[in-house]
Protein backbone atom coordinates (compact mmCIF):
# COMPACT_ATOMS: atom_id res chain seq x y z
CA UNK A 1 0.00 0.00 0.00
CA UNK A 2 1.32 3.46 -0.90
CA UNK A 3 2.00 5.77 2.06
CA UNK A 4 -0.63 8.48 2.42
CA UNK A 5 -0.01 12.21 2.20
CA UNK A 6 -0.32 12.24 5.98
CA UNK A 7 2.84 10.11 6.09
CA UNK A 8 4.77 11.76 3.30
CA UNK A 9 4.41 15.43 4.22
CA UNK A 10 5.73 15.32 7.82
CA UNK A 11 8.24 12.63 6.89
CA UNK A 12 9.77 14.67 4.10
CA UNK A 13 9.69 17.82 6.22
CA UNK A 14 11.55 15.95 8.92
CA UNK A 15 14.08 14.70 6.41
CA UNK A 16 14.63 18.22 5.15
CA UNK A 17 15.47 19.28 8.69
CA UNK A 18 18.27 16.72 8.78
CA UNK A 19 20.12 18.65 6.10
CA UNK A 20 20.69 21.57 8.42
CA UNK A 21 21.34 19.41 11.48
CA UNK A 22 24.21 17.32 10.15
CA UNK A 23 21.96 14.27 9.73
CA UNK A 24 22.84 11.13 7.84
CA UNK A 25 20.97 11.92 4.66
CA UNK A 26 20.16 14.82 2.40
CA UNK A 27 17.13 16.06 0.50
CA UNK A 28 16.93 17.43 -3.02
CA UNK A 29 13.99 18.62 -5.06
CA UNK A 30 13.34 19.75 -8.57
CA UNK A 31 11.25 19.40 -11.70
CA UNK A 32 11.32 16.23 -13.77
CA UNK A 33 12.61 16.59 -17.33
CA UNK A 34 12.99 12.85 -18.03
CA UNK A 35 11.70 9.63 -16.51
CA UNK A 36 12.73 6.19 -17.72
CA UNK A 37 10.41 3.64 -16.19
CA UNK A 38 12.33 0.65 -17.58
CA UNK A 39 15.60 1.65 -15.93
CA UNK A 40 14.11 3.43 -12.93
CA UNK A 41 15.98 6.64 -13.65
CA UNK A 42 14.55 10.11 -13.12
CA UNK A 43 16.27 13.33 -14.21
CA UNK A 44 15.48 16.72 -12.71
CA UNK A 45 16.43 20.37 -12.85
CA UNK A 46 17.04 21.18 -9.19
CA UNK A 47 15.33 24.05 -7.37
CA UNK A 48 17.77 26.80 -6.32
CA UNK A 49 15.06 28.46 -4.20
CA UNK A 50 14.14 25.38 -2.16
CA UNK A 51 13.86 27.34 1.09
CA UNK A 52 10.79 29.09 -0.36
CA UNK A 53 8.48 26.24 -1.51
CA UNK A 54 5.83 28.64 -2.82
CA UNK A 55 8.28 30.13 -5.30
CA UNK A 56 10.45 27.39 -6.80
CA UNK A 57 13.21 28.31 -9.22
CA UNK A 58 14.21 25.38 -11.41
CA UNK A 59 17.53 26.59 -12.78
CA UNK A 60 20.38 24.50 -11.37
CA UNK A 61 22.54 22.92 -14.06
CA UNK A 62 23.65 20.34 -14.93
CA UNK A 63 20.55 18.16 -14.54
CA UNK A 64 20.64 15.50 -11.81
CA UNK A 65 19.80 11.87 -12.52
CA UNK A 66 18.99 9.40 -9.73
CA UNK A 67 17.55 5.92 -9.40
CA UNK A 68 14.09 5.81 -7.87
CA UNK A 69 13.75 3.87 -4.58
CA UNK A 70 14.13 0.09 -4.84
CA UNK A 71 11.13 -0.37 -2.57
CA UNK A 72 7.98 0.90 -4.37
CA UNK A 73 6.43 1.64 -0.97
CA UNK A 74 9.01 4.41 -0.57
CA UNK A 75 7.77 6.26 -3.63
CA UNK A 76 4.65 8.23 -4.47
CA UNK A 77 2.99 8.32 -7.91
CA UNK A 78 5.31 7.93 -10.88
CA UNK A 79 6.50 11.30 -12.16
CA UNK A 80 5.66 12.81 -15.52
CA UNK A 81 8.37 14.62 -17.43
CA UNK A 82 8.31 17.91 -19.33
CA UNK A 83 10.68 20.64 -20.45
CA UNK A 84 8.72 23.75 -19.40
CA UNK A 85 10.38 25.09 -16.24
CA UNK A 86 8.72 28.44 -15.59
CA UNK A 87 6.31 31.07 -16.85
CA UNK A 88 6.96 34.76 -16.28
CA UNK A 89 3.49 36.30 -16.51
CA UNK A 90 4.66 39.88 -16.18
CA UNK A 91 7.61 39.62 -18.57
CA UNK A 92 5.66 37.45 -21.03
CA UNK A 93 8.37 34.85 -21.39
CA UNK A 94 8.86 31.23 -20.49
CA UNK A 95 11.90 29.14 -19.68
CA UNK A 96 12.43 25.65 -21.06
CA UNK A 97 15.17 23.07 -20.82
CA UNK A 98 16.70 22.63 -24.27
CA UNK A 99 17.60 18.94 -24.36
CA UNK A 100 19.80 19.23 -27.43
CA UNK A 101 21.87 22.09 -25.99
CA UNK A 102 21.60 20.85 -22.37
CA UNK A 103 20.85 24.44 -21.40
CA UNK A 104 18.02 26.69 -20.30
CA UNK A 105 16.35 28.74 -23.02
CA UNK A 106 14.14 31.82 -22.65
CA UNK A 107 11.24 32.08 -25.12
CA UNK A 108 9.24 35.33 -25.40
CA UNK A 109 5.53 34.88 -26.01
CA UNK A 110 2.43 36.86 -26.90
CA UNK A 111 -0.63 36.23 -24.73
CA UNK A 112 -3.74 35.42 -26.76
CA UNK A 113 -6.15 34.30 -24.03
CA UNK A 114 -6.03 33.68 -20.28
CA UNK A 115 -8.41 32.03 -17.81
CA UNK A 116 -7.67 32.26 -14.08
CA UNK A 117 -8.72 30.05 -11.16
CA UNK A 118 -8.78 26.86 -13.23
CA UNK A 119 -8.48 23.76 -11.04
CA UNK A 120 -6.72 20.60 -12.28
CA UNK A 121 -10.05 18.74 -12.45
CA UNK A 122 -11.73 21.42 -14.57
CA UNK A 123 -13.11 19.94 -17.80
CA UNK A 124 -11.07 22.41 -19.83
CA UNK A 125 -8.00 20.68 -18.44
CA UNK A 126 -9.09 17.06 -18.09
CA UNK A 127 -10.72 16.79 -21.51
CA UNK A 128 -8.10 18.60 -23.58
CA UNK A 129 -5.00 17.67 -21.54
CA UNK A 130 -2.75 20.65 -22.33
CA UNK A 131 -0.29 21.44 -23.71
CA UNK A 132 -1.97 21.69 -27.09
CA UNK A 133 0.32 22.73 -29.92
CA UNK A 134 -1.57 24.09 -32.93
CA UNK A 135 1.07 24.59 -35.60
CA UNK A 136 -1.50 25.74 -38.16
CA UNK A 137 -2.75 28.57 -35.93
CA UNK A 138 0.72 29.17 -34.42
CA UNK A 139 -0.61 28.86 -30.87
CA UNK A 140 0.16 26.81 -27.77
CA UNK A 141 -2.37 26.16 -24.99
CA UNK A 142 -0.74 25.72 -21.59
CA UNK A 143 -2.01 24.88 -18.14
CA UNK A 144 -0.04 26.19 -15.15
CA UNK A 145 -1.11 23.95 -12.26
CA UNK A 146 0.62 25.97 -9.53
CA UNK A 147 -0.93 29.27 -10.70
CA UNK A 148 -4.20 27.69 -11.85
CA UNK A 149 -4.06 29.49 -15.17
CA UNK A 150 -5.09 28.21 -18.58
CA UNK A 151 -3.50 30.29 -21.33
CA UNK A 152 -3.23 30.39 -25.08
CA UNK A 153 0.01 31.92 -26.31
CA UNK A 154 1.82 32.54 -29.57
CA UNK A 155 5.57 32.20 -30.07
CA UNK A 156 7.97 32.75 -32.95
CA UNK A 157 7.74 30.28 -35.83
CA UNK A 158 11.13 28.71 -35.05
CA UNK A 159 9.87 27.31 -31.75
CA UNK A 160 7.14 25.23 -33.36
CA UNK A 161 9.86 22.87 -34.56
CA UNK A 162 10.43 21.84 -30.94
CA UNK A 163 8.78 18.63 -29.62
CA UNK A 164 5.42 18.92 -27.88
CA UNK A 165 6.83 18.11 -24.42
CA UNK A 166 8.73 21.42 -24.64
CA UNK A 167 5.51 23.09 -23.48
CA UNK A 168 4.70 20.67 -20.66
CA UNK A 169 5.76 21.25 -17.06
CA UNK A 170 7.14 18.10 -15.49
CA UNK A 171 6.15 17.03 -11.99
CA UNK A 172 7.98 18.46 -9.00
CA UNK A 173 9.58 15.76 -6.88
CA UNK A 174 11.41 15.75 -3.54
CA UNK A 175 13.67 12.90 -2.53
CA UNK A 176 15.86 11.76 0.35
CA UNK A 177 19.22 10.14 -0.29
CA UNK A 178 22.56 9.09 1.16
CA UNK A 179 24.10 7.94 -2.12
CA UNK A 180 23.62 10.84 -4.62
CA UNK A 181 22.88 8.29 -7.35
CA UNK A 182 19.88 6.68 -5.58
CA UNK A 183 16.80 8.00 -3.83
CA UNK A 184 15.80 6.17 -0.67
CA UNK A 185 12.41 7.89 -0.49
CA UNK A 186 10.72 9.94 -3.18
CA UNK A 187 7.65 12.15 -3.04
CA UNK A 188 5.77 13.42 -6.10
CA UNK A 189 4.88 16.88 -4.81
CA UNK A 190 2.74 17.72 -7.85
CA UNK A 191 0.53 14.67 -7.36
CA UNK A 192 0.22 14.80 -3.55
CA UNK A 193 -3.00 16.39 -2.36
CA UNK A 194 -1.96 18.11 0.86
CA UNK A 195 -5.58 19.05 1.55
CA UNK A 196 -6.47 15.39 1.95
CA UNK A 197 -3.63 14.56 4.32
CA UNK A 198 -4.86 12.38 7.14
CA UNK A 199 -8.30 11.84 5.57
CATH number of the domain encompassing residue 178: 2.40.50.320
**DSSP code per residue over 162-181:** S-GGGG-PPPEEEEEESSTT
Q: Which domain holds residue 161?
A: 84-167
Q: Which of 18-22, 27-31, 63-67, 104-108 shows the lowest per-residue confidence on average (mean pLDDT)?
A: 18-22
Q: Do residues 73 and 26 both lie within one domain?
A: yes
Task: Give the percent of the chain with pLDDT over 90.
Answer: 79
Q: Do residues 149 and 102 both lie within one domain?
A: yes
Q: Is the pLDDT of residue 13 over 80?
A: no
- pLDDT per residue over 75-113, tens digit each? 989 999 999 999 999 999 999 999 999 999 999 999 999
Q: Do residues 93 and 156 both lie within one domain?
A: yes
- pLDDT per residue over 41-53, tens digit each? 999 999 999 999 8
pTM of the prediction? 0.84
Would you state the pLDDT for residue 23? 59
Q: How many domains does the chain have?
A: 2
Amino acid sequence: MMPSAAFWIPAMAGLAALVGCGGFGRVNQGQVIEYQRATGLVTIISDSNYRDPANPRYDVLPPVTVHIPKDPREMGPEPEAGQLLSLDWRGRRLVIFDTAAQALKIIPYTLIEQSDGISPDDARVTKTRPPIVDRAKKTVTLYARRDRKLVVISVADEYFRLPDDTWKAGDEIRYYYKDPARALRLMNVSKTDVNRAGK
